[in-house]
Amino acid sequence: MEQERRITKRIGSITEVAVDKVVIHRRVRRSLGDVTALSESLRKHGLLNPIVVTDENELIAGHRRLEAAKKLGWARIPARVISEEDEADLVEMEIDENTQRKDLTSDELAEAYVRLDRLRNPGWLRKLIDRIKAFFRRIFGGSNKKARRR
């Protein structure tokens, strides 16, 4: 029961915080690397995962995302605000944020780029099928949304 309360407490709410009000103290990650590609991703797709801050706007996770947003001149950034006061837990969250993920394998990445290329550059048959579907949707009033997965 105590564990559930702590997890619920940590989930927090998502809000927007002023970029210049986020407090950055001593961080586990020292080198942010080049955030240019991340900035371009933010410009193109927006922020997919909010940064994480405490009630006092102390940054817990998302330093690279924050710096990329600053580079774009954002005044505000989506943030998950959590209530946590134990410094050891805060450091553990930062470590987990940066280590508990799995990069795509080279095969997965190659397949994803092939799929993306096919979606962006469909062959003549795919174009014909899409036009036929659009025609029948207009006639019969079906959904105008394209299929998400091919």
Taking the CB of residue 142, how many other CB atoms lie within 10 A of it? 11
| Averaged pLDDT score across all residues of the chain | 85
Q: Is the pLDDT of residue 60 over 70?
A: yes
Residue 36 has, within 13 A of its CA and on its CB side, a CA count of 1
- pLDDT per residue as tens digits for the range 13-58: 899 999 999 999 888 888 889 999 999 999 999 999 999 999 899 9
Query: Which pLDDT band holds residue 71 (cuts at 50, 70, 90)?
Result: very high
Query: Which pLDDT band holds residue 119 (cuts at 50, 70, 90)?
Result: confident
Q: Is the pLDDT of residue 114 over 70?
A: yes
From residue 147, how far is each of 11, 18, 134, 143, 144 by CA, in Å? 33, 37, 12, 10, 10
Burial level of 69, CB count in 10 A (0-12/13-18/19+)?
buried
Query: Which residue's structure tokens are 């998950």?
Result: 80
Q: 22 with 51: CB under 8 angstroms? A: yes
Q: Is the pLDDT of residue 5 over 60?
A: no
Judged by DSSP in three states, 32 sits in coil
- pLDDT per residue as tens digits for the range 7-19: 545 667 899 999 9
* Terminal Cα distance for the chain, rounded: 44
**Which residues are paired to 14 by β-bridges?**
80
Q: Where in the chain is the domain with CATH 3.90.1530.10?
A: 2-99
CATH class, domain 2-99, is alpha beta
Q: Is the pLDDT of residue 69 over 70?
A: yes
- Alpha-helical (H) ranges within the chain are 2-11, 36-45, 63-71, 87-99, 106-120, 124-140
Prediction pTM value: 0.71
